[in-house]
Amino acid sequence: MKGRLILSLVILALWGGGIVYRLAQLQITDHEHYSLRAQGQHHRKVELQAPRGTIFDARGRELAVSVEVDSVWVDPSRVEDTAAMAGQLAEVLKIDRKALTRSMEEAREFAWVARLLDPPQAAAVRELRLPGVGYLKESKRYYPMRQVASQVVGFAGVDDRGLEGIEGAYNDLVAGKAARRGVLRDARRGTVLLPSLSFRDPEPGSDLYLTIDIWIQYLLEKELAAAVERTEAKSGTALILDPNSGAILAMATVPTFDPNRFGDYGRDEWRNRAVTDAVEPGSTFKMVTAAAALEANLVDPTDIFDCENGSVVVKGKRIHDHHPFDELTLREVIAKSSNVGAIKVGLLAGESALNEQIRKFGFGRLTGVDLPGESAGILEPVDRWHKRAVAYISFGQGISVTAVQLASAFAAVANGGHLYRPYVLEAVGRDGVRQPVEGKPEVVGRAISGSTARTLERLLEAVVEEGTGKKAAIDGYRVAGKTGTAQKAAATGGYAQGRYVASFVGFSPARQPRLVGYVALDEPNPRLGYHGGDVAAPVFSAVVGPALLYLGVPPEREPMEVWPGQKDPPEPTVLTASNSTPEMSSEIEPVREPVASEVDGEGSLPDFTGLTARQAVVQTATLGLRVNLHGRGLVSRQMPSPGSPVETADGSVELWLAGSSGR
């Protein structure tokens, strides 16, 4: 008995010692470790999304907004029959029952049922009154214009992060900063909020103001979609931009998609083809070839080229024209779009000059447009050009360009030779206060001289007046542009029969351009028409004509000399918030509206100073006078002076704009 007692005491002592040791370990040695674990079990940080900023068009119309909606979750530990509940929820929400059952069975305390529900869906779930189901308010992106401008605006995913378009490109600006809230969880897994716990308010994202004008955008998409349907084309791409700033007023791709239901569409519909897709430009590139020869002072519009009745042999290879021509002037080569004539112009310019001119127009590199996924196109280094490269590139083969590159190049012709960086974001705002984006507009180089620009303007005008682009004509406005019908490359090499990209790119009014437009149809049905002048040019006319009227551009009465007596136009003014004018930005509200009281007397000339060129043209037109504009900006001086009898104007008024000099 004594031995048993001693053994029991020893065991009891060891057991007690073990308890004391364990208590000491928990309370002293491992105290910090277990304290942190306990805190982690009771203290949680909940992250609450900040509302994304609103995206507006150029006139303040909403393109993307954030609304507060319900997301549904479930605590599986409080559910007796997960399969049955999953079936009820799946039926109401039209989701996968098996996937939801699996998610609920694998989770211990929390499983998402569905996020960002529309109000009717959330109400239907509430009516079920299911145990363990909870609701969390989250911010959902909503696109009130639906398909309109969808590839430009893009969309945000279920985590409220921008994935495409402007939403993706400027996500850091528009997303804001999420709120964080410290909470306590009680023994029943309930949530307790205490004022003493950490809290950070959400910081809403910035509002974005785009150069896109939704009215022009809608018209462009409507006409492009109609052309795609009419010609049975695979797709269509088009854009409209301001040549005096690079601001993109509209950019469309067909087929399009609804960003409110982006998951119902494929990546092909999400893609902004005007930025991402590089194609051979075809005959639209003959403008660049002519520019190279004109810049080198090697040709004149009246110079005659022997087009050899429809074909020419270059380095042992016979290249055919689309039509047999005999002798054509340079003007006729461009107007009639002769391949042989363009080849001879390109060979005259030479490899070095042609390559230099191509790169001055910005081809072969990114334009820097503020949209994701931009392609630089394909332009081989000149030392890798094959022996017939000059001939093929001269009429738009063997080089690939994007729509935004080609439109920017034609914009350089339209504005007198300056290459602008195209852009979509005009200003950033908070609480209704707009701050223009610094550095926009931005001139990235001079593509051609002013004299070359004016010559090209006349050559391109002839394309519409008497050449292949007649269907681009607009009543009341002069149009300059170029058609293109590029045969598509075959996967096995060479070119595919019956597969074309039909395009037109141009600007109007030709002598004082306000809009540049690009239209392309990919693989129109040859039976229904596939030439750029037949299927793409009419879209340009149908969009640019109404857009000019919408912007308040008066129809032209007589040709106006923009830079008389000057070799080059004056350097453009880089806009700031203080000197922005409608001529050089997407803003179209008047700087100073003319009023009747500014006319000093009956039959007297009004005071034009302080007006924009557009406003001055409107006023002089009402008086039956021509106007000769010198420079760019706001009117700073006029001749005859204000108050002079209209008769002293002798049919015309001279106006000098800010930054120009008098004669």
Question: How much is the pLDDT for 121?
Answer: 85
Are 539 and 592 in a shared domain? no
Residue 130 and residue 192 share a domain: yes
CA distance 188 to 109: 11
Q: What residue type is assigned to position 456 of the chain?
A: L
What's the pLDDT tens digit per position in 404-418? 999 999 999 999 999
Residue 234 has pLDDT above 90, yes or no: yes
Question: Does pLDDT of 619 surpass 50?
Answer: yes
pLDDT at residue 579 in the model: 34
**pLDDT-based confidence at residue 602 (cuts at 50, 70, 90):** very low
Least confident of 105-109, 295-299, 584-588: 584-588
Q: Is 485 in the same domain as 622? A: no
Kindly report the backbone phi and psi dihedral angles of residue 605, in degrees, each rounded to the nearest multiple of 5, phi listed first: -75, 135
Confidence band of 595 (pLDDT split at 50, 70, 90): very low
Tell me, yes or no, if 283 is annotated catalytic: yes
- Whether residue 525 sits in one domain with residue 452: yes
pLDDT digits (tens, 9 = 90+) for 423-449: 999 999 988 788 999 989 999 999 999
Backbone angles phi, psi at 53, to 5 degrees: -65, 160
| Distance, CA of 300 to CA of 295 (rounded, Å) | 10
What's 136's domain CATH number?
3.90.1310.10
Q: Which residue has the higher pLDDT, 124 or 583?
A: 124
| 529 and 607 assigned to the same domain | no
631 vs 346, higher pLDDT: 346
Q: Are residues 283 and 135 in the same domain?
A: no
Considering the domain boundaries, does residue 430 fall inside one? no
520 plus 587 within the same structural domain = no
Q: Judge if 469 and 593 occupy the same domain.
A: no
pLDDT digits (tens, 9 = 90+) for 510-550: 989 999 999 999 999 999 999 999 999 999 999 999 999 99
The CA-based dihedral angle spanning residues 394, 399, 400, 404, taken in that order and rounded to the nearest 10 degrees: -50
Higher pLDDT, 204 or 257: 257
pLDDT at 571 over 50: no
Q: Confirm whether 292 is domain-assigned.
A: yes
Residue 546 and residue 524 in contact, taking contact as beta carbons nearer than 8 Å:
no
Catalytic entry in 71, 206, 283, 375: 283
CATH number at residue 614: 3.30.10
- Looking at the structure of the chain, the number of domains it has is 3
Per residue in 102-149, pLDDT tens? 877 776 667 788 877 878 888 888 888 888 888 877 778 889 999 999
pLDDT of residue 282: 95
**Cα separation, 261 vs 433, whole angstroms:** 31
Where residue 561 falls among pLDDT bands split at 50, 70, 90? very low
Burial of residue 252, with CB atoms counted within 10 A of its CB: 0-12 exposed, 13-18 middle, 19 or more buried: buried
pLDDT given at position 374? 96
CATH number at residue 545: 3.40.710.10
93 belongs to a structural domain:
yes
Res 299: pLDDT: 94
| 536 and 401 inside one domain | yes
pTM of the model: 0.73
| 312 shares its domain with 392 | yes
Same domain, 633 and 497: no
Q: What is the pLDDT of residue 644?
A: 76
Same domain, 587 and 462: no
Q: What percent of the chain has pLDDT over 70?
A: 80
Residue 598 pLDDT exceeds 50: no
| Average pLDDT of every residue of the chain | 82
What domain range includes position 487? 229-235+277-418+445-550
